[in-house]
Amino acid sequence: MFTVNENFLKLPGSYLFATIAKKVSAFQEANPDREIIRLGIGDVTQPLAPAVIEAMHKAVDEMSAASTFRGYAPERGYEFLREVVAKNDYQANGCDITADEIFISDGAKCDSANIQELFGLDSVIAVCDPVYPVYLDSNVMAGRTGLYNAETGRFDHVVYLPCTEENRFLPELPKERADIIYLCFPNNPTGEVITKKDLQVWVDYANKNGSVIIFDAAYEAYITEDGIPHSIYECEGAKTCAIELRSFSKKAGFTGVRLGFSVVPKELKCGDVSLHALWLRRQGSKYNGTPYIVQKAGEAVYSAEGKKQIDEQISRYMKNAATIRNGLIDAGFTAYGGVNSPYIWMKTPDQMTSWEFFDYLLDKAGVVGTPGAGFGPSGEHFFRLTAFGSYENSLKALDRIKKFC
């Protein structure tokens, strides 16, 4: 008789955003006349930029003629896209990353879940607390963690790096062994950022201790302030200790299109073994390439028109972020994030737990957010709101929160 991967059984409940979606549909079903404003999952609402749509249409037409039709895409992605990514996202910012260090994928969620396959099961992972759940869940499924402790809300054999108000949501260096360190900046869920100087400390730590950093830069396009790194490769020595993940979902509204990439530098090695070679081998065996149409859409993000249109989209979301953040603070709430990030991390009122506040807000105000505890125990008493709704809905949600809390 077959057996199952028992590591899956260590996971408590369902995936955070699936749990929320289920609760919201049950509420909507019971209250069909209530208007719900969804500021929970970080899903975009603005349509794709015209330059992107035009490129997709053109690519669809190419697929209709034998002379321009394309089948399987190259395992690392088409060179036309890897070249513009290397040039615009890295070389233009002084980072020495070349097109052949870039692996195009169907998004940063999959990359952040899959990348752990490169490492031994005895490697110890370190994650921020609160954290984007995928890093942790994927390592649990792989068997790299111990059991879940319901009392602490933590898995055994995982190094948790608390990100709290006290440390301004910046993790401290681990005191115990940490082989694979997941960092996400601008941070999901807190919306807070790290300076280049502080990130350099992590790079130096990783190089000194033989650790690897998985740097999730999915939200870099939302950085508005100077001195905040867009890439970990802005730090000296990062190419020997860091993999970077990026997404077109938040940058260009591709949540439903699916496009992202990972950067695995050629200098990144474990002894004599190249991680770049391992990732190439992994992708070759397990991934059949991101569709041509999608990669052409991605290329258009870097055209002059595309850049202009996407900057406008991001500004609209950041106007929502400022409206929500400042509105909450003016009304006497404590709120963080929202300056270099589309996420606002508010403190729940009256010491409510984050799930109590979720239920209260849904019931009274018809507003959906994400309970901080869903991201880890240090997220308790916090609540995440996204700026990805419309301006009207952001204002409406703010008014309702002020009215009922």
Lay out the site mask for ligand MLT across 60-99 (x = CB under 6 A, - = otherwise): ----------------------------------------
C-alpha–C-alpha distance, residues 209 and 205, integer Å? 6
- Residue 41 or 242: the one with the smaller Cβ distance to ligand MLT is 41
- Residue 109 or 296: the one with the smaller Cβ distance to ligand MLT is 109
- Residue 109 or 276: the one with the smaller Cβ distance to ligand MLT is 109
User: Which letter does DSSP use for residue 195 in this model?
Assistant: -
- Residue 302 or 345: the one with the smaller Cβ distance to ligand MLT is 345
Output the six-digit token pair for 238: 């990062």
Lay out the site mask for ligand MLT across 281-300 (x = CB under 6 A, - = otherwise): --------------------
C-alpha–C-alpha distance, residues 307 and 45, integer Å? 18
Helix-helix angle 50-62:292-300, to 10 degrees: 150
- What's the min distance (Å) between Cβ of 403 and ligand MLT? 25
Number of neighbouring beta carbons within 10 Å of residue 277: 12
Q: Does 251 bind ligand MLT (CB under 6 A)?
A: no
- What's the min distance (Å) between Cβ of 67 and ligand MLT? 38
- Residue 16 or 398: the one with the smaller Cβ distance to ligand MLT is 16
C-alpha–C-alpha distance, residues 4 and 274, integer Å? 32
- Residue 100 or 106: the one with the smaller Cβ distance to ligand MLT is 106
Beta-sheet pairing, 180-184 with 125-129: parallel
- Residue 38 or 276: the one with the smaller Cβ distance to ligand MLT is 38
- What's the min distance (Å) between Cβ of 50 and ligand MLT? 24
Would you call 98 exposed, middle or buried from its count of C-beta atoms within 10 A (0-12, 13-18, 19+)? middle
C-alpha–C-alpha distance, residues 111 and 260, integer Å? 8
- What's the min distance (Å) between Cβ of 107 and ligand MLT? 8
- What's the min distance (Å) between Cβ of 15 and ligand MLT? 9
Residues whose CB is less than 8 angstroms from the CB of residue 338 and which lie 6 or more positions away in sequence, other chains included:
191, 321, 322, 324, 325, 344, 387
User: Which letter does DSSP use for residue 342 in this model?
Assistant: S
- What's the min distance (Å) between Cβ of 68 and ligand MLT? 33
Task: Find the residue with minimal CB distance to ligand MLT.
Answer: 42
The residue from 38, 76, 109, 246 that contacts ligand MLT (CB under 6 A) is 109
User: Which letter does DSSP use for residue 10 in this model?
Assistant: G
Would you call 87 exposed, middle or buried from its count of C-beta atoms within 10 A (0-12, 13-18, 19+)? middle
- What's the min distance (Å) between Cβ of 42 and ligand MLT? 3
The residue from 188, 231, 348, 354 that contacts ligand MLT (CB under 6 A) is 188
- Residue 283 or 341: the one with the smaller Cβ distance to ligand MLT is 341
Query: Which residue has tokens 């992972």?
Result: 125
- What's the min distance (Å) between Cβ of 228 and ligand MLT? 20
- Residue 188 or 231: the one with the smaller Cβ distance to ligand MLT is 188
Closest by Cα among 215, 207, 272 to 240: 207
Lay out the site mask for ligand MLT across 33-62 (x = CB under 6 A, - = otherwise): --------xx--------------------
Question: How many residues bind ligand MLT, per CB under 6 A?
Answer: 6
- What's the min distance (Å) between Cβ of 314 and ligand MLT? 15
Give yes or no for a cis peptide into 74 (omega within 30° of 0): no
- What's the min distance (Å) between Cβ of 41 and ligand MLT? 4
Secondary structure (DSSP) of 31-87: -TTPPPEE-SS----SPPPHHHHHHHHHHHHHTTSTTT---SPPTT--HHHHHHHII
- Residue 42 or 289: the one with the smaller Cβ distance to ligand MLT is 42
C-alpha–C-alpha distance, residues 99 and 302, integer Å? 15
Lay out the site mask for ligand MLT across 11-30 (x = CB under 6 A, - = otherwise): ------x-------------
Going from the C-alpha of 141 to that of each of 6, 11, 126, 153, 310, the distances in angstroms are 8, 8, 16, 17, 36
Residues that bind ligand MLT (CB under 6 A): 17, 41-42, 109, 132, 188
